[in-house]
Each structure stands twice: as structure tokens, then as C-alpha cells.
Amino acid sequence: MSINFNFSQDLRFWVALSTFDKFGAKKFDLLKKYFPNMEFAFNASINELVSAGINKKIAEEFIEHRKKINPEQEMEKLALENIKVITVKDNKYPKLLKEIYDPPPLLYYKGQWPDNINFCLAVVGSRKYTSYGQQATEFLTSRMAQHNLIIVSGLALGIDALAHIACVKAGGKTIAVLGSGIDKKNIYPASNRYVAEQILDNNGLIITEFPIGTPPLHYHFPQRNRIISGLSLGTLVIEASIKSGASITAKLALEQGREVFAVPGSIFSPNCEGSNKLIKEGAKPVLCADDIIESLSLENIENFVEAQKLVPQSPEEEKILTSLSREAIHINQLARITKLDTGTINATLLTMELKGYIRNLGGGNYVLT
């Protein structure tokens, strides 16, 4: 079925559907594949939801939940908190995260998406850190930030918060991933809200897959950890006990086919049992930032970042670049999104094609190169 619709209008239904906590990544994928857009999914009957692959009991629960949800009001709540949202179909959605087994269907965020979003490193560790753990975190994180690596962590007490702060102090970019809603009341832990403010004040980013108003429930954090590792080329573990959240994140990184690094610690410290065990099992030991940079072949990261940037030369080019992705889009739809007249959009597309910014697939379909 082919239906023309405004994706920005459809976004409210993605948000509305996400308020039902039993619609996780896999069920969203079923809805996305079965319905022409999320407005159809939100308004579907029980039979239609079942046909899409949703369990009947869950479909019935959603129908009841739907009665309490107004998509317009959900968007108003986000606006009041200055929260934005992107979906897995958005061209800003991180490429590495999209590659994992169960990418979050949408991400709520505050702050700015960095240009080098594909050059992230997760830094995780114990909540109860030692002075050695603090030194190692500050030493390694600040140097990796100076190499233009984005530092990703979970805003938790301990090593997470130290990594965010060290990155900010070094003038780098950092991303905090939450296991709760991103509204002020639910940022967790409350004692780290000042860290969140520092991140945002320094052009960083705070993201979550959980809708506004979601409390920090304990089972949300393993879900959160898959995003931390999924955003990143590798995960660095600094001081972790055997059963810590940091060890879980490292395990997820391995499952996602990403690199795992660990800082060697004292054989007498319970805080280091998990990180030392990771090294024993094959994680790469890290003594300095260059160990990570070389292992990931990022010696020329500055050049990689610059090569990724497409600099628009006019307001028309900027509108088109913002609207295009690596999924084909027809010129008619592009014209509707950008509100450019036929003559202007044809001329601008031709110019951009000659510059190598975009590619004409034929039949009026275009993609970013």
C-alpha cells in the first residue's frame, strides 16, 4: 500500500505508541513493517494488530491504554521540556546503533547531535570507585576527547559521571544515555543532574528510548546499556566488579561485534575483578589512550570527520541535505518536505549531484552519497 503522508505529522504517533511500555523495539518493528505509517498503527483494531504479529492480550491492553493517550498532548509535553525526538527512519539516527539486533525505534534527546556521531567510545565502570579508578578515568577520557572521540556513558554515579565531567573539561563531546525519561523530574540519579546540565551547556547530548515521565526502574538499565555499547565503536571498562553493570555493557558490546577494552587493576581489589577477568577472556588491556586509538585505527579521525561533512552552499542545499538520507526519496516528496518550487529543486539537485553530494537513482529518486 502506498500512502503519501507528512512524516513530521506521523512523528506524534511514534511518540504516542512509545508510551505503551509493552511496545519495545521488536514490536515496533512489526508495526513498522505491517502498517503504512504509525498513525494507522496507533488507530488499528485488535484484529489488525494481531495480523501485524502483536499478541492478542497485548493488543487488548494497548487498546485500553490508547484511550488515555492524546498524541497532540504528548508532543506538547515534550515541547514544554525542550525535548526532541528522532526515529530509526531519521537520517540523524546513529548508523552504528541502527546496526544492533534491537535498535530503539525512537530516541528522545536534549542537546546537539555531533557531526562525528560514528566515532564514539563507551566508558563505563564501578559506582564505588577508588582513587586509582578516578585517575585512570580522568587520564584516559581527557586524552580520548582531545582525539575527537565522543565519550558515551550512562550518567550513573562513579566512573560514568567522572568520564562525562573529564570529557567536558577537556573540551570534548559526551553523550549520556538514560534508563529513564529525559524530563527533569526523572533524570537519575538526582545528584547527577548538575552533570547533565554541564553536558548540555557544553554542546553535549542526553538521550533515552524511554518516553517522558518514565521513572528509573531497575530493569531499564540493562536496556540502556545496549544503547551505550551500540552507539560506540568500542567499550572501555575501568574498575568493574564481576556482576556490575559495566561488565554487562562489555558483554553486550561483544554480542554487537564491537571492541572491548579494560584497564588492568589490582589483583587484590574487588572493584577490579570484573575488568581483570575481561582482560583474561580477551579484552584488550589499556595503558594509555593510544592503545585504543591504534586498535580502532583512528589515528586520522580528524580527517574522517571532515570527510563526512557535507557543507551546504545555499539555503536550498541545506534544506535538501537535511531532508535526504541514504534511503531513496522521490523528488515530489522532497519538494513537499522542503517547500521548494519545481524549478528551484531541479536546479539545486543537479548542482548537488555535480558536486558529488547526492546521487540520482533514476525515476526521480535521490539519496545522499
Residues 56-89: pLDDT tens digits? 999 999 999 999 999 999 999 999 999 999 999 8
Evaluate whether 274 touches 246 at the Cβ level (below 8 Å): yes
Query: What is the residue whose three cell numbers read 507528512?
Result: 6
| Number of Cβ atoms within 10 Å of the Cβ of 244 | 23
Q: Which three cell numbers stand for residue 51?
A: 495480523
pLDDT in tens, 82-119: 999 999 988 889 999 999 999 999 999 999 888 789 89
Residue by residue, pLDDT tens for the chain (369 residues) are 334 444 468 999 999 999 999 999 999 999 999 999 999 999 999 999 999 999 999 999 999 999 999 999 999 999 999 999 999 988 889 999 999 999 999 999 999 888 789 899 999 999 999 999 999 999 999 999 988 899 999 999 999 999 999 999 999 999 999 999 999 899 999 899 999 999 999 999 999 999 999 999 999 999 999 999 999 999 999 999 888 889 999 999 999 999 999 999 999 999 899 999 999 999 999 999 999 999 988 876 655 555 555 667 788 888 888 888 767 889 988 888 888 888 889 888 888 887 778 888 888 888 877
End-to-end CA distance of the chain: 28
Q: Which residues contact 281 (CB under 8 A, 6 or more apart)?
A: none
Strand partners, 360: 366
Among the listed residues 145, 204, 215, the one whose alpha carbon sits nearest the alpha carbon of residue 180:
215
Report how far residue 142's alpha carbon sits from residue 222's, in angstroms, rounded to the nearest whole number: 26
- CA atoms lying within 13 Å on the CB side of residue 192: 25
Gap between the Cα atoms of 40 and 101, Å rounded? 25
Residue 54 phi, psi dihedral angles, 5° rounding: -85, 135
- Pairwise CA distance, residues 69 & 19, whole Å: 8
